[in-house]
Chain A
Amino acid sequence: MQLTRRSLLTRSAVLGCSLAASPLLTPVTFAAAPWDTRLVVIILRGGMDALDVVQPYGDPQYAGLRQSLSGGPAAGAADLDGFYALHPGLAPLLPLWRAGELGFVQAVSTPYRDRRSHFDGQDLLEAGTAGLGQAEGGWLNRLLQQMPGVEARTAFAIGQERMLILEGSAPVSQWAPGAGLLMSPQAERLAGLLMEDDPLFHAALNEALELTRQDMALGGEDGGEGDSAEAGEDMMASMMTAPKGKAHSEVAAYAAQQLRGDSRIAAFSINGWDTHFRQAGALKGALGRLAETILALQSGLGPEIWGKTAVAAVTEFGRTARENGTGGTDHGTGGAMLLAGGAVRGGRVLGRWPGLAEADLYDRRDLMPTADVRGQLAWLLHGLTGAGKSGLETDVFPGLAMGRDPGLLL
């Protein structure tokens, strides 16, 4: 028997009835969302090379540092402003740049210095603190803790990856598209009973069942055949494996779907930025995924919601100014952040440029950070959600001085 979305839907109607009667779930009604703008945070894991993405071809030192990785308009990059050029891998986003819906902040970093470990670097980026272990969970979660009217569905962590950025005491949702759980009503009740006295399992089960119900209710346009007990089991079997295809586009489409509804924040990862070796090929692939992701968000959100959306893509650190001996770059310090969306004031590369002369580099090897990326993010949160500056400086990003408004938003 061929299984289709329709047979799933038929099945989910039955499931829906049983859920209403299930003692596991309190009926959830969502209050009007606490604010109206949308924020997407993308963690670029691996350390994106700022100097190859937003190429400072106007800097006299640049060409000497990047011999095989030479950029600039002469090498096919699009000129942005006479000083910076955009890596060809992001060329699909040039229409956004021209529309003022794409921008960059160059030479930013977290307070992380010297050890240059991905794992600590990412933890610090997501924790939003000055040092490791200085606060619980992630900065997006601590933002939610400050806002009134937050529901689990207000913020979504999407994909298979752990997202520390959204961990913490405020309720959030986490889901990977196509990860549904289909069981008979009896099995569902018994699974609830088995897990009842184990809070970690019980909470995860309840959320999985609730998200499955929503997933089913949201999707399903194609017609198909009927339903049987056997069909449910086969469906579970066919769903044992991960969904195929372009995972990043699916994640973006799912994020857009949630953000069209009651969700206001989505966070997910794009991996593949650790380009120690043959960066020319590896970076092109990663940038292609980033571009597709942003375009999938734009089309999934539609013009109205895209108009009040800001996408911020951030990475744990930049890479060495000088290319290494293997056609790549090693872990560095100063990096770049990307901003997109109808709510951002784009068409500009912001950030104070520190220069690339050896004395201007951090540790004589890395791009010198001239601003704390947390300051940029704090102003973004302030502008999008109305979160107060004092809360942002003391709780969301403890110890941060936000300084002057960089004017990232319209």
Chain B
Amino acid sequence: MEALMENLLTNVDWTEIGWASWDTLVMVGMSLLFSVLIGLPVGVLLFLFGKRQLLEQPIAYAVLSFVVNVLRSVPFIILLIVMIPFTVMLIGTSLGVAGAIPPLVAGGAPFFARLVETSLREVDRGIIEATQAMGATVKQVVFGALLPEALPGIIAGITVTAITLVSYAAMSGVVGGGGLGDLAIRFGYQRFQTDVMVITVALLVIFVQLLQMAGDRLVLYFSRK
């Protein structure tokens, strides 16, 4: 059995795979963290500035919405390239794990912001009204009622964003990003090492599955409806 494995996977360097997996984890983890840190407040503002909402601001909404739409409409592979000068300015390099994180955040944050906006809109208006009737400030409505009520939806949004970031992170291999995608391109594609390709794809599939399962469990745990 072991011999068979050796024969089939001649090109596979497991240490390399291990490091690449770790890199992917770091890229997804860090970019998810920043996407949530940026996307959550932007999503809340999008919701509050929206039509007939608490802080209705048509102009602010239009501006914010436009920026989000622009970032979301650029295909990620193009965003990776367009972002290079900015990434270099920000962290000194556009290569490796660190170099991949800014474009990943630029792709993930607006995506997550829209998901947050949508899940906040799902909250019953009556709950907002009731909270206002208790004499709550806008801040109290957001933190006391809106976010707790939308939490399951927001967690589902984080899951979807994380999975999107896994695929974006793999794509960043094209411009020297690092991680499993980089491995797949350099060895699997450019050197025709099909076994490396198969392993990296299998690992990505497992990774996505685990993320989805964990996300679903959390959503279930926080759902009281």
- Do the two chains belong together in a single complex? no
Which chain B residues have a beta carbon within 8 Å of chain A's beta carbons? none
